[in-house]
Amino acid sequence: MLSVRFADARPAGSHVLVVPVASGKVEPGALGALGDAAAFAARAAAAARFEGEAASVAEIYVAAGEGASRVLLVGTGAGDDKGYEKAGGAIVARLLTSGETTVVVDPGGHQEAGAKLARLGYAALLRSWRYDKYRTTQKPRQKPGLTELVIVNAGAEAEADFARRAALAEGVFLARELVTEPANIIYPESFVERVRGPLEAAGVEIEVLDPAAMAALGMGALLAVAQGSARPGRLLAMRWRGSGAEPTAFVGKGVTFDTGGISIKPAAGMEDMKWDMGGAGAVAGAMLALARRKAKAHVIGVCGLVENMPDGAATRPGDVVTSMSGQTVEVINTDAEGRLVLADAMTWVQRTHKVKTVVDLATLTGAMVVSLGHEYGGLFSNDDGLAGDLIAAGEAAGDRLWRFPMSDAYDKLIDSPIADMKNVGPRPAGSITAAQFLKRYVEEGVRWAHLDIAGMVWAAKAGTLWDKGATAFGVALLDRFVADTLEG
Ligand code: BES
Ligand code: MN
Ligand code: ZN
């Protein structure tokens, strides 16, 4: 793991020197960190067609004082927060396995970019995360060697700003690990045990319901999904009491593996369904982040944890189950399991705690990936204010959301001839009918939003803040939502 620190002067040992440069600012005046070599460096950079575009990198060959084994200019684009974030990600993408161990970022004495440099450090930290636990044959030169990023000449506020972001990074890394681990390692019970240690150490109260406890509460919907698996389900509740206010609830879909059940999925790509617990991972990660930065907010995170498998005890298409709310569901398709899990988790948190706001996160529908691809998560809500707050938090945090419509006409599509509702509608608008299903479990007077993050949990290609694989979408969004709407 990359360690990020702030210092007054460049360290003595061998390092890569990085100078951040904004678009159109590739001139000696902006390269003061290079001292006497600034003029030559500006010409070399221009010759290499380096213009300071965000995340662009130019390696230049100049003597830059004791210890600097190489010098990189890294573009910050408009020189705003986003530009510095892209620069941080680009530095690590370039140097992680380069053989270098220390990178020093020096903007030069004349810059005032404190919070921006914290953002650069945060992006570098996030981009450095990898999970190599199961690789046993990597050669030394393939392994990440970069261990330290030192930022010098940062403004006074940079260090405190970074500390807040470091707490968020802990939550992001927890979520990524949960999502990355295969389903033989992370299943309902082991999910709970993996998160318990760090959460309790941070001051989060944990409550866990096993199948007997859930049966006693009448959670027939969640249990109908769990019953085809050898792994018993769990309901995990995490409570952070950082204020005396009424709690806000976050609810995560935690299907640790989704075979589809008896309505079994095709073989091709089914391995992806190890990350069908990405909503639960984001909720657990967000709870850790909030507790680690001691957020002044009262938040309850709930994860509905089950494995959707097709054994002899599995739920059959056509079975009718009774949810904790008392409403009955005809299970037409056992692959529409997430909504069954969320229904009982939502009822539980609304009836156990007096919550006024519920936000659920779920890899709920393949249709969402068809709609929005991998750029936005889908947002559904019964409250315009809540929807607006979530969209704003998402924009600020980099986890973007796009709102979808809901209406009685869509709701009608899940009426059942035998029960109160069926668990799937017709093929069109599959993400919306899934949301309409969840809406039937929102109690009177509760503001609710559903985030369908099916396209966002796992990335086929590297981004600014992640390598290929788990993104931890939702953790930064929830952290920001809490900071902007519940604190201060
Ligand atoms: N976990 C899947 C949704 C999913 C698919 C997430 C692909 C990420 C990538 C969910 O449980 C599911 O199987 N949904 C079905 C619903 C259908 C049966 C109405 C789907 O999307 O096909
Ligand atoms: Mn499914
Ligand atoms: Zn699923």
Mean pLDDT for each 10-residue chunk of the chain (488 residues)?
A: 93 94 93 92 95 96 82 96 97 96 88 84 98 94 94 88 95 99 99 98 98 99 99 99 98 99 98 98 99 98 99 98 99 99 99 97 98 98 99 98 99 98 98 99 98 98 98 98 96
User: Is 159 part of a structural domain of the chain?
Assistant: no
Ligand 1 pocket, residue 181 CB under 6 Å: no
Phi-psi label, residue 455: left if phi above 0, alpha if psi -120 to 50, beta otherwise:
alpha
Based on the domain organization, do 323 and 402 belong to the same domain? yes
Ligand 1 atom, smallest distance to 255 CA = 1
Catalytic residues: 265, 339
What are the backbone angles phi and psi of residue 418, rounded to the nearest 5°? -120, -25
CATH number, domain with residue 137: 3.40.220.10
Instruction: Provide the token pair at 352.
Output: 């156990």
Which residues make Cβ contacts (< 8 Å) with residue 266, sequence separation at least 6? Answer: none
Domain boundary among 154, 185, 207: 154
Based on the domain organization, do 254 and 370 belong to the same domain? yes
Per-residue confidence (pLDDT) for residue 111, from 0 to 100? 56
Which residues make Cβ contacts (< 8 Å) with residue 89, sequence separation at least 6? Answer: 55, 123, 124, 126, 127, 463, 464, 465
How many A from CA of 288 to the centre of ligand 1?
A: 28
Per-residue confidence (pLDDT) for residue 62, from 0 to 100? 82
Ligand 1 pocket, residue 89 CB under 6 Å: no
How many A from CA of 321 to the centre of ligand 1?
A: 20
How many A from CA of 336 to the centre of ligand 3?
A: 7
Based on the domain organization, do 69 and 98 belong to the same domain? yes
Based on the domain organization, do 174 and 119 belong to the same domain? no
Based on the domain organization, do 114 and 194 belong to the same domain? no
Write down the pTM of the prediction: 0.98
Based on the domain organization, do 199 and 95 belong to the same domain? no
Instruction: Report the distance separating Cα 369 and Cα 167, nearest Å.
Output: 30
How many A from CA of 440 to the centre of ligand 1?
A: 19
Instruction: Report the distance separating Cα 41 and Cα 33, nearest Å.
Output: 11
How many A from CA of 126 to the centre of ligand 2?
A: 30
Based on the domain organization, do 124 and 177 belong to the same domain? no
In this structure, which amino acid lies at residue 364?
L
Residue nearest to atom 16 of ligand 1 (CA): 336
In this structure, the strands spanning 401-403 and 320-322 are unpaired
User: Is 162 part of a structural domain of the chain?
Assistant: no
Ligand 1 pocket, residue 256 CB under 6 Å: no
In this structure, which amino acid lies at residue 372?
L
User: Is 79 part of a structural domain of the chain?
Assistant: yes
Based on the domain organization, do 120 and 145 belong to the same domain? yes
Per-residue confidence (pLDDT) for residue 120, from 0 to 100? 97
Which candidate, 354, 407, 352, 399, places its Cα nearest to that of 377?
399
Ligand 1 atom, smallest distance to 308 CA = 11
Burial class of 9 by CB neighbour count within 10 A (0 to 12, 13 to 18, 19+): exposed
Ligand 1 mutation target, pool 365, 371, 427, 471, most atoms within 8 A of CB:
365
Ligand 1 atom, smallest distance to 260 CA = 13
User: Is 247 part of a structural domain of the chain?
Assistant: yes
Instruction: Provide the token pair at 410.
Output: 């869509």
**CB 117 within 8 Å of CB 83:** no
Based on the domain organization, do 446 and 369 belong to the same domain? yes
User: Is 160 part of a structural domain of the chain?
Assistant: no
Burial class of 383 by CB neighbour count within 10 A (0 to 12, 13 to 18, 19+): middle
Give helix 338-352 / helix 430-439 axis angle, nearest 10°. 30
CATH number, domain with residue 448: 3.40.630.10
Per-residue confidence (pLDDT) for residue 110, from 0 to 100? 54
Partnered with residue 361 across adjacent β-strands are 252, 451
Cite the beta strand spans of 61-139 per DSSP E: 68-75, 102-105
User: Is 379 part of a structural domain of the chain?
Assistant: yes
Which structural domain range is residue 315 located in? 167-486
Burial class of 461 by CB neighbour count within 10 A (0 to 12, 13 to 18, 19+): exposed
Per-residue confidence (pLDDT) for residue 114, from 0 to 100? 83
Domain boundary among 119, 154, 189: 154
Based on the domain organization, do 395 and 434 belong to the same domain? yes
Instruction: Report the distance separating Cα 290 and Cα 292, nearest Å.
Output: 6
Ligand 1 mutation target, pool 257, 271, 277, 335, most atoms within 8 A of CB:
335
Based on the domain organization, do 81 and 225 belong to the same domain? no
Ligand 1 atom, smallest distance to 367 CA = 21
Domain boundary among 154, 178, 203: 154
Instruction: Report the distance separating Cα 423 and Cα 47, nearest Å.
Output: 62
Question: What is the domain count for the chain?
Answer: 2
User: Is 331 part of a structural domain of the chain?
Assistant: yes
Partnered with residue 194 across adjacent β-strands are none
Ligand 1 atom, smallest distance to 424 CA = 19
Ligand 1 pocket, residue 306 CB under 6 Å: no
User: Is 148 part of a structural domain of the chain?
Assistant: yes
Instruction: Report the distance separating Cα 447 and Cα 383, nearest Å.
Output: 6
Ligand 1 pocket, residue 338 CB under 6 Å: yes
Based on the domain organization, do 113 and 172 belong to the same domain? no
Per-residue confidence (pLDDT) for residue 69, from 0 to 100? 85
Q: Which residues of 384-411 are buried (b: 16+ CB within 10 A; e: fewer)?
A: eebbebbbebbebbbbbbebbebeeebb
Ligand 1 pocket, residue 177 CB under 6 Å: no
